[in-house]
Structures are given as C-alpha cells and as structure tokens.
Structure 1
Amino acid sequence: MKSPVPGYLSRVLASSSASSGGAVADYIPELAGADPDHAAIALATVDGTVYAQGDADLAFSIQSMSKPFTYALALSDRGIDGVGERVGVEPSGEAFNEISLEPDTGRPRNPMINAGAIATHGLVSASSPEERLERVVSWYSRFAGRRLDIDEQVARSELGEGHRNLAFGHLLRSFGIIDGDPVPVVEGYIRQCAVSVTVEDLALMAATLANGGVHPRSGERLLDPKLVRHVLSVMMSCGMYDAAGDWLTTVGIPSKSGVSGGIVGVLPGQVGLAVFSPRLDRHGNSVRGVTMMERLSEDMNLHLMDAARPARSAIRDVRRVEIHGEETTAYVLHGDLVFSSVESLIRRLVEDPPTTRCVVFDVDRVDEVDDVARRMAVEAARSLIDDGHELALADRNGVLGESGLPASTAD
C-alpha cells in the first residue's frame, strides 16, 4: 500500500495556485530574480519522517526564518533573563524593518523584527565575529540534520543593500544593546539570513522544536524544553510581524516567515511544517504560503487553541485472530485519531504490511476521529484493498461513521 500523505500535500499545494497576488522581494537584487511560480510544501513528524511536494529540492535563503533558531542559541548561551535584558518579547505591531525600540532603554521589542534579530545575533557567545557566525550556521545544521552553507551570492547582494540594518546596528550600539563595533554583528546577521535551505530542511528544523528540542532522527537534545516553550511563544506572538494577530486567530500555529517566500511552522508534539512560494503580501509573508498554512491548519485541526488531547501512537496492539476459519491480522487502535497518530499507523502498514489476506481494524477503544484522520484512514483502506486484502471494521461506537467497510464478527 502507499501513504495518502503525499497526495494530500499535493492537493494542498495545487489548491493554493489561485493565490497568485503579491510580488517577489525586490529590495534585495538576488531575490528579485526569483521565479515567482515556484512552490513547495513539506511536513515532518516528530519521529523524523519527512513528506514533501512541489519544488522540494529547490534551495532558497532562510532569511528571517533564521531568527527563532538564532534566538534559541542565544537563550542557550545566556539564559532567558540574560537575553531579556537586551531584547524584549512584546509584539511590535509594525513591519519587520521598522525602528521598534523601547524609548527609555533602546531595547528592541522582540527578536523577530530586524533590530531584535541583529541584537540577538550579537548575543551568541563567541571570541570573534567569524566564530559567532560559524556557531550559528552549525547550529542550524544540527537542526536540519545536515551541513548547511551560506549562499554567497545572496549574502553579497544583501550586504550591498544593508544600509538600514547598519543603521539599526549603530543605534543599538548607542544604547549599549550591542557591545563593541556593530558592523561585524550586522554583517554576521545578514550572512545568517543567506544560509541556503529547502522546505525539507525547514520542516525537520521545525519538527525538532515540535519534539521538545530533541532531533527526531538523531535523538540529540539541542534545546531545553523550557527554552523551546519560550521560543515558540515568541514565534506565536511576533513571528508574522504586523499580521501576527490575524495569524493567531486564523492559523494558530507558531510560525516565522522570510522574504525569500518561506514560512516555517511548529505544532508542539505533532509536526513541523514548511511552505515556500516567492510572491509576498504587504506584510512580507508568502501569499501562497499563507494560503497553504491556512488550509493545513483547517484540515488537520492544527490551531493551537483547539482543545485536542496530545497525539500518541494509534496502535494499542497487533494480534492474530481467526475469523470464519481464516487467520486474520487485527490492529487494535485507541485514543484520539488525529493526523500524527494516523500517519504513524499508515507508515507502519507501509513499512510492515500485514501478511494475511484478511485484516481487521478494531476502533472500539478510539475516542475521537478528526476529519483529516478519517479521510486518511479511508484512503489507506482503499490502498490495502487494491493490494488484495479483505478488510473489516470493529466499530461498535460508530466513531468512523459510514466507512463502507464491513463490520467484523471477531471478539
């Protein structure tokens, strides 16, 4: 059988094609030449499976999607209070490149706007600007699970147009937010924004945060859970700039956008998400990317304020039973069936398919099933039938509704 997840992501990608407004970022020459029709989507589970569709192999610069990860590194180095002395956590309600400093202290409002991100870069512990930048890039690489590198063409393009960011740096230095010469700090920040990634990289980076700071594949703890909570809270309230309020109410996923056209999102305990398309709206957020994230949130009940119980494995037990004299594989499911738990079940069926002709799914211990999980389950059932299996369902409580599968007579 095959997983329905790639097909679902492909449909989400296709459904966003009507969102063709906006324009590519033209204030950075290297970004101005981006193909506006490129688009990609990726989803990574907290156990390290990545699904991607569209231009998934296309590399683009991470831009402001770097900010939460540099913030996480600075928090690891200096602690919440140490970073908080120089960078706040309040939403600015302003565009990403506005001068948004506290009037009395000169402290940037939050680390997701440019002034705050420059200050945050300067708070990464290092003995030199070169060491600081290498620590930042290596940190991103550990989250992505592979070595990432700086796109030097993008970096040179941005450095040539970095006058406003340099002004931020000098202003921050005047308030004592940045120590020493601000120019290397600003240049390091610009170069961190030029790190090259794909949507698969970003989804896995996000899944590490979704997994409480533990890399889904290596098992390495990269970030303390308390710091993960802090980073995600700031992403939720500040990550989408002056569109943060609309984002919180409609999408409800801690996210961060970048002017290259990417958006990275984190649903704690479940998935990391990444979308990409270069055309931007007036807030600097990807037009198609916003549409894709809205649909993912709606279809998969991913809004953080939904009162869903934490996801866990759907499989309680797998056993062999005899029905009408024929050996049958029975999958006993429990808990709530949401995207992540059903995806885990389907992946088990793909990687370790049943060896008997007859298969039963026992959902008597299942409490609730959301819409996307129900659709995925039906598609998976059809795939098993196409592979020659005969399916039956034990659903005395009717949680799956009209599935079209025959009822099981197994005890």
Structure 2
Amino acid sequence: MIHSIIENVKITPHSGHLASYIPALANQSKDLFAACLVDERGEILSFGDANYSFTLQSISKVMSFIVAAEHLGLEKILEKVDVEPTGDPFNSIVRLEVAEKGKPFNPMINAGAITVASLLPGDDVEARVNSVKQYLAQITGHEHTVNEEVYRSELETAYRNRAIANYLKANDYLEGTVEEALETYLQLCSLEVNTEDLAKFGLFLASDGLIAGENKNLITHKTAQFSKALMMTCGLYNASGKYAATIGIPMKSGVSGGVLCAVRNGEIEHLRGYIGIAVFSPMIDEIGNSVKGMIFLKQLSDQYHLSVF
C-alpha cells in the first residue's frame, strides 16, 4: 500500500517553489523526493532519493532545544522562550513587540531558535554547534557536517534574522553577542542529513529519547515530551493547527524540504511500535512546508491511522 502512496505523490504535478530567498537552496532539483521509515526493531523502509543529503534548516530547532534543555534544564530555557503557538510566519518580528518584554513565543520560530542557540553549552560558536552535532551523531551513528555554501549563503542574506537577534539582545534574551547567536543558529540550520538520518531522529523522539539497540535514554522524558508537544503545536509554522487536525502526529519541517515525524505507536507494512518517519521534497508552499512531503504524510496517516486524535 505504501508503494502506491509513493507513486501517487511522485506523479503529482509540481507546485510550490524552491526556497530561493536562500540562494544556495535555489539550485536544488525540483524532482527530488525521498522518504524513510524506521521502527524500534531497526526495520527500515526507504524510497526515492534516500541517500541525497540536504540541510536541516528549521528542523535543527528541535535538536537545539533538546540539547539546551538537557544542559540548563527546562525551567531555565522556559525563562527565555515560551511554548505558545504564534499563528505568524516563522521569521515574524511583530510578536516580539507585543509579547511580554519581547519574549519569543516558542523555540520553533526564528526568534526562539536564535535565543536557544545562544544557550547551548560551550564558550564559542564552534563549541555550541559541536554540542548539537555530538547528540545527532549518537542517534544516527555517524558525524554530520555543515554545508558551508548554504551557511555562507544564509549568513550573507540574514538581514531579518540579524534584526530579530538585535531585538532579542536589547531585551536581554541572548547570551553572548548577536553575531555569535546568529552564526550558531545558521550553522545548525546548515547541518546535512539524509532521510534515514532524520527517520532515526524521529524514532529517537518517538521512544522518548531511547538510543536504538542500547536500551538507554539519552534525554529525560520531560524534554522528549516538550519537544513533541512543540512539534505538534508549532512545528509546521502557521499551518501547525491544520496539520495537527489532518495528519495528527508530531512533525517539524524545514524550508529545504525536509520533514521530521515521530509516531508513538503505529503499524505500517511490517513496521511496528515506535516509528520515525522522514520525507524530503524541496518544493515548498508559501508557508515553508514541503508540498509533496505533506501530501505523502497526509495519505500515510489516513491509510495507516497514525493520528493521535
């Protein structure tokens, strides 16, 4: 059945656009499509361009939040960033001006993620980025690198994010300098993964931080709980409510075309139990979500009854 979903999605006419506001992402092929599913027994289903590497972009916000929360504790993080949906675009500045003392609404929008990036363990940008890379490597089983072309492309055009960071600094939410926070955030957005890596991370979240095959939890249950709640309510920008209702699983998207998903208890073909799902297709809608990625996940959720509701 899943093969028919894949074929339906692949023949769907192209719609949406590449994330051309990041020049390096404008060069991706519109025809790329990949999906990967991993269950708690290590069983894997993969389709399409599964070995193609793409940058995390906003999916990195989940990973940064986890590392910062484990480092400082959730209470400390929540002093700096709230956990409320905004209903606004991910790069909006408006809410900072109307919120109490300019506090970012959640870690899944740029303002919150830039704040969290400044709270990561380490005394400089390299150390903070490495703290996330090390967590990710423990979950995927290999090292991950920053795509320098994408990073430089984003850094050179980060006018709006720099404005957000300056506003945050003025209201005493950033640790360190504006440039350090911005460089950390953008390097994490530029980390490369493929769909199998991302599916393994989804499995890690679905199982509340259990490292596959090692029978140990890398993070606390509370951190995992908050992360999945944030993905469900804020993970798809200002379409999060719609997709919570129509797909109904914790998800986080990025403008490169990736989507991370965590299924608590599912049955998909021969896969059972905790399941991590990742999909990649670079054409995104006006909100920033992968067009074919969301079509795939909607059909998958409907076919296999994955919604938590």
Q: TM-score band, normalised by the shorter chain?
A: over 0.9
Equivalent position of 1:57 in the other structure: 51
The corresponding residue for 1:279 is 283
2:175 counterpart of 1:179: yes
Contact 1:108 1:115 (8 Å CA) reproduced = yes
Would you say 1:215 and 2:208 are equivalent positions? no
Summarize the alignment of residues 188-227 of structure 1 with structure 2, pairs less than 5 Å apart.
188-227=184-223
**Please, which of 291, 295, 317 is the counterpart of residue 295 of structure 2?**
291
- Which residue is equivalent to 1:400? none
The aligned amino acid for 1:43 is L
Correspondence for 2:82 among 88, 102, 107: 88
Contact 2:119 2:175 in 1 (8 A): no
TM-score (norm 1): 0.71
Letter in 2 for 1:90: E
SS at match of 1:56: coil
- Which ranges of structure 1 fall in alignment gaps of 5 or more residues? 1-7, 306-411
Match of 2:247 among 243, 247, 251: 251
1:32 aligned counterpart, secondary structure: helix
In structure 2, stretches of 5+ residues that fail to align are: 266-273
More helix by share: 2
1:97 aligns with 2:101: no
Cα deviation 1:186-227 (Å, max 9, x = unaligned): 111001000010000000011011112011234442111121
Q: Is the 8 A contact 1:74 1:124 kept in 2?
A: yes
TM-align CA RMSD: 1.3
Bigger CA drift: 108-117 or 219-228?
A: 219-228
Aligned partners of 1:217 and 1:69: how far apart in 2?
A: 21
Question: Between Structure 1 and Structure 2, how many residues are aligned?
Answer: 298
Deviates most, 176-185 or 83-92 = 176-185
2:45 maps to 1:27: no
The match for 1:114 among 110, 125, 131 is 110
The reply on whether 1:137 has 2:133 as its aligned counterpart is yes
Look up the match of 1:301: 305
TM-score of the aligned structures, taking structure 2 as reference length? 0.93
- The one-letter code matched in structure 2 to 1:146 is H
The residue number in structure 2 matching 1:15 is 8
Q: Distance in 2 between matches of 1:19 and 1:68?
A: 31
User: Percent sequence identity over matched residues?
Assistant: 35
CA contact (8 A) 2:56 2:193 kept: yes
Matched, 1:37 2:31: yes
| Structure with more contact order per residue of length (Cα contacts < 8 Å, sep ≥ 6) | 2
1:163 maps to 2:156: no
C-alpha distance 145-217 of structure 1, shift in aligned 2 (>3 A) = farther
